[in-house]
Structure 1
Amino acid sequence: MGRTRRIFTVSAFAVAAIATPLRAETLVVNSYGGPYEAIIRKAIIEPFEQRTGIDVIYDPVGSASQDYAKIKATMGRPGFDVVVMTASQSLQGCKDGVLEKLDANSIPNLAKLSRRLTETAGPCGAVHEVQYMSLLYRTDKLATPPVSWSALASSDLKGRVVLPTFQNTMAIYLVEMFSLMNGGDLVDNLAPGFRAVAAIAKQSIGFEQSSAILESYIKDGTVWAMPFWSGRAQLLVDSGLSVDYIKPKEGTIPLVATLNIPIGAEHKDAARKFIDFFLEKTSQEAWVGGYKVGSARTDIDVPAAVKARQITSDADLNSLHLPNLTTVAERLPKWAEQWERDVVAHAN
Structure 2
Amino acid sequence: MAPVLQSSQPWVEKYRPRQVKDVAHQDEVVRVLTNTLETTNCPHMLFYGPPGTGKTTTALAIAHQLFGPELYKSRVLELNASDDRGINVVRTKIKNFAAVAVGSARHGGYPCPPYKIIILDEADSMTEDAQACLMPCGAPWRHTQKLQDSSSFVITSAGIIGMGMSLITGPIIEPLASRCAKFRFKPLTEEIMSSRILYISKEEGLNLDSEALSTLSAISQGDLRRAITYLQSAARLFGSSISSKDLISVSGVIPGDVVQALFSACRNGNFDMADKEVKNVIAEGYPVSQMLSQLYDVIVESDDISDEQKARICKKFAEADKCLVDGADEYLQLLDVASNIMRAISNMPQECSFGS
Fold equivalence (TM over 0.5) = no
> Structure 2-normalised TM-score?
0.22
Structure of higher RCO (CA pairs closer than 8 Å, 6+ residues apart): 1
More helix by share: 2
Q: TM-score, normalised by structure 1?
A: 0.22
The structure carrying a bigger strand percent of its residues is: 1
